[in-house]
Amino acid sequence: MSHTKYIFVTGGVTSSLGKGIISSSLAKLLQARGFKATIQKLDPYINVDPGTLNPYEHGECYVTDDGAETDLDLGHYERFSNVPTSQANNVTTGRIYQTVIDKERKGDYLGSTVQVIPHITDEIKRSIKILGESGKYDFVITEIGGTVGDIESLPYVETVRQMRWELGEDCAVIHLTLIPYLAAAGELKTKPTQHSVKTLLEQGVQPDIIVCRTEHSLNESIRRKIARFCNVSPSSVIESIDASSIYDVPVLMRNEGLDVEVLNKTNTPIGKEPDLKDWEEFLYKLKNPSKEVNIGLVGKYVELKDAYKSINEAFVHASTRNDCKVNVVLIHSEEVLDENVDEKLKDLDGMLVAPGFGNRGIEGKITAIRYVRENKIPFLGICLGMQCAVIEFARNVLGYKDAHSTEMLEKTKHPVIDIMEEQKKISNLGGTMRLGAYQCKLDKDSRIFDVYGGIKEVNERHRHRYEFNNAYLDECKTAGLIPVGVNTKNNLVEIVELKDHPWFFGVQFHPEYKSTVAQPHPIFVDFVKAALDNKS
């Protein structure tokens, strides 16, 4: 296509209606029609990025190849589209203001008064257009975080107003709202949607397409009513009914014609039907498993739905490659004790210890790892999970009872996990960990080499400050914990594998960030297979 089209997705009535999934589904459909699409999230909060937010506030922090700590919606974008995102795909109010204030200090505004309009809105516009101007995309889909009417999203909606005016037919606005069902009246209600569109109109934006999240099907008369009150054609009222899986949504949106509406509104030739053959095959496998396995997920945030989002989704992807359903059994690490570990873990076919920060729940993780090591239950430790596996091994196999990570016990006599020299000088917490993609060389005599399909080097994403302490490398190796993946530039151990165990790996990186529907991560695929083998 000669130039990029910009699609904005706003939300009304309530949050959590699934703007990220609608945006991802639209990108998937446009892709399936042969277009190149990317998705961007604009977050209205003042944090520069979500890296400093705890999971109670914001769920998982997702990490891109270029080391950006981002909103978890970027994970959905990648999982649906199989296209990597980058820092440019996630912008926050904090980042916009930081850039504008830096420019002001440098004198870039030549003495003018710096204001929300035009300086902040111009900076938002620049952040949106960076993606379009890269020349890589036919469509840039920009999701505006929050709900219209929020004070903090005003500059973003104002930017949409300006861009619509400037771009004309190269721009369309999708508004996602809720159509609540009043059980007592037995009716779906359109009034909140009418009000939400009015709020958008007060800010100068007329949506082109209204996507209606609903628990019940919208009949023709409701569609016509929404169209009439919100100034859109009935074909632009799109039903988004609750689905049993987020992966159903692209198919539901195709059936509702969301992609066709977007193409019409942006004056783009419709072309061929979207090819969703592989996607539908994936869905079929997802819904028709012939077996199941129980895999424990041990972490301290298990009560939070979104804290381990990418891990849960990676299991979904891997399950379809193994023709099975993975039941993720949530186990709170603080509740695992020597006295109850057998009771808590005995029904598991495999166990994953989650990433994390800080001391809370650490001993439970170590106790759980000892159990699966000794009982030969397949184990995957991710980031802190790998570090705990090393601590457990040092304590119970090497005999260093006080072995620890210096993150938890600074003065430990046996710092088997230690902070990197260059991390010691850092005082700012934001964006300063080892972040993003690093190369890792695999030992070709190891099982992990086969897991990855016989490639010598892999590229995986990191987010941590602490590392395996190479002072203990030889001892670990001799006793059976083998470094099978190493970063050859700085000799950091990235993967450990336990000898004489059916399946026991610790990885310093986060394989879950790179798992997509089209390419489930090989470590997860093999882990689920090992759990199935263990079960039988």
Query: Which stretches of the chain bind ligand GLN, using CB under 6 A?
Result: 355-357, 383-384, 407, 463-466
- The angle formed by the CA atoms of residues 388, 458 and 472, to the nearest 5 degrees, is 35
Helices (H) and strands (E) in the chain, counts: 19, 23
Query: Residue 359 carries which DSSP code?
Result: S
Q: How far is the CB of 481 from ligand GLN (least distance, A)?
A: 18
Q: How far is the CB of 319 from ligand GLN (least distance, A)?
A: 24
Strand residue runs (E) in 427-529: 434-442, 457-464, 466-468, 481-487, 492-498, 504-507
Nearer to ligand GLN, 19 or 465 (CB): 465
Has 510 been annotated as catalytic? yes
The distance in angstroms from the start CA to the end CA of the chain is 53
Has 61 been annotated as catalytic? no
E strand or H helix that includes residue 156: helix 154-167
- Please pick, among 383, 388, 440, 476, the residue that the annotation labels catalytic: 383
Q: How far is the CB of 379 from ligand GLN (least distance, A)?
A: 16
Nearer to ligand GLN, 148 or 384 (CB): 384
- Contact between 177 and 211 under an 8 Å Cβ cutoff? The reply is yes
- Contact between 462 and 493 under an 8 Å Cβ cutoff? The reply is no
Measured CA to CA, the distance from residue 409 to residue 406 in angstroms comes to 5
- Please pick, among 69, 317, 512, 521, the residue that the annotation labels catalytic: 512
Nearer to ligand GLN, 28 or 464 (CB): 464
Nearer to ligand GLN, 15 or 359 (CB): 359
Q: How far is the CB of 361 from ligand GLN (least distance, A)?
A: 12
Nearest partner of 33 among 140, 138, 176, 171, judged by Cα: 138
Has 58 been annotated as catalytic? no
Nearer to ligand GLN, 145 or 385 (CB): 385
DSSP string, 309-330: HHHHHHHHHHHHHTTEEEEEEE
Q: How far is the CB of 96 from ligand GLN (least distance, A)?
A: 27
**Is the torsion defined by CA of 92, 96, 102, 105 positive or negative?**
negative
61, 306, 428, 440, 451 from 39: Cα distances, Å: 17, 20, 29, 29, 31
Nearer to ligand GLN, 51 or 274 (CB): 51
Q: How far is the CB of 67 from ligand GLN (least distance, A)?
A: 13
Give the residue numbers annotated as catalytic, written as ranges.
383, 510, 512
